[in-house]
Amino acid sequence: MKTWIPDMLYRAACDELMDAPDCDETRLLRTVRQFSSINRLVSRYRTILKREVLADMMKEPGREYHLVDMGAGGCDIDAWLLQSAQRLGLKLRISACDLDPRIIRYARTTYGDTPGLDIRRLDLLQYPPEEPVDYVFANHFLHHLTDQQIKHLLGVWAPRTRRRMVLSDLRRSSAAYLGYAALSLFYPASFARTDGLISIRRGFLPGELQALADTALPENRHTVLQYSPGRLVLRIECSALPNDERTVN
């Protein structure tokens, strides 16, 4: 047995280094830049967004859609999604939300001129939208939260979402930990290795994510999808109306 592999039975409670407001800015922004290629390699965001968002938009291709990206980071995913929607002839605007002002500045410098992209500094636990949005997407955001915060987030945002929430995160396992430990050797001088390994330890088992959604949203249809490598997607079907009333199926 390799004793240096941490116990994966329960979610870890330790914080990621880059979540500290006083963490080194140079290493932080290098990490955000590195996440662009890490996301492309392992997060499966293109497949997930094609299946869960773009395909759903194609059911009514003539209207405009609004998506909120929770914990958007450097906004590389949002830029790709807007380009993909445009190629399909779809009208999409994205509110990309993050809390760290340094990451917001980086994202605005890098992607601030992207048509349809509004980069906002927003505490998503405190300030849900006044009017419903069509989609909520998150990549590697939920694992930064406690179980109680996740239930609060779902309970606040699902009633303000018209169509679907697609929340992609990490499946906690020794295999994922070992795989990322090897991959992260190619991303030096940043938080990518230490925080990536912590992220996996803070990730979820399918039943844990399902139970959180069951508790927070007993009236919403939701399911946990699994993708390789080490990916879980919580898909929540929503039906908010402009006057914030829910349609009960």
* 3-state SS assignment for residue 120: strand
Backbone angles phi, psi at 64, to 5 degrees: -95, 140
Q: CB-based burial of residue 112 (10 Å sphere; 0-12 exposed, 13-18 middle, 19+ buried)?
A: middle
In a domain, 160, yes or no: yes
Domain presence at residue 5 = no
Backbone torsions φ then ψ of 231, nearest 5 degrees = -120, 135
| Domain membership of residue 159 as a residue range | 20-237
The residue with tokens 């592999």 is 5
Alpha-carbon distance 61 to 57, whole Å? 6
- Asked whether residue 141 is assigned to any structural domain, the reply reads yes
Question: Do residues 85 and 117 make contact, with C-beta atoms less than 8 angstroms apart?
Answer: no
The model's pTM? 0.94
In angstroms, rounded to a whole number, what is the distance separating the alpha carbons of residues 246 and 249? 9
Q: From CA 228, how far away is CA 177, in angstroms rounded?
A: 14
Asked if residue 152 belongs to a domain, the reply is: yes
Q: Which residues pair with 95 in a beta bridge?
A: 68, 118
pLDDT, tens digit, 9 for 90 and up, residues 197-239? 999 999 999 999 999 999 999 999 999 999 999 999 999 999 9
* Residues 166/135, Cβ–Cβ less than 8 Å: yes
Cβ neighbours, 10 Å, residue 96: 28
pLDDT digits over 66-86, tens only?
Answer: 999 999 999 999 999 999 999
Q: Report the number of distinct structural domains present in the chain.
A: 1
Q: Give me the amino acid identity at 77.
A: I
Average pLDDT (1-7) is 67
Percent of residues, the chain, with pLDDT higher than 90 = 92
Count CB neighbours of 32 within 10 A. Answer: 24
State how far the Cα of 209 lies from the Cα of 142, in Å rounded to an integer. Answer: 10
Which CA distances in Å does 66 have to 20, 63, 141, 236? Answer: 31, 10, 19, 16
Residue 242 lies in a domain: no
Alpha helices per DSSP H over 63-201 = 76-87, 101-111, 147-157, 174-183, 192-201
Answer whether residue 151 is part of any domain. Answer: yes
CATH number of the CATH domain containing 134: 3.40.50.150
pLDDT in tens, 118-134: 999 999 998 887 889 99
* Higher per-residue pLDDT: 241 or 192: 192
Compute the distance between CA of residue 137 and CA of residue 146 in angstroms, rounded to an integer: 18
Please compute the mean of the pLDDT values over residues 26-39 and round it to a whole number: 97
Residues with Cβ within 8 Å of 59's Cβ and at least 6 positions away in sequence, in order, are none
pLDDT at 242: 61
Strand partners for 67: 94, 135
Residue 8 counted as domain residue: no
Res. 249: pLDDT tops 70: no
Spatial separation of the C-alpha atoms in residues 207 and 9, rounded to whole Å: 12
Reported in sequence order, the residue ranges of the chain that DSSP labels E, i.e. its strands, are 64-70, 91-98, 117-121, 133-139, 161-170, 222-227, 231-237
Residue 148 domain flag:
yes
Unique residue bearing structure tokens 């399911």: 223
Mean pLDDT of the chain: 94
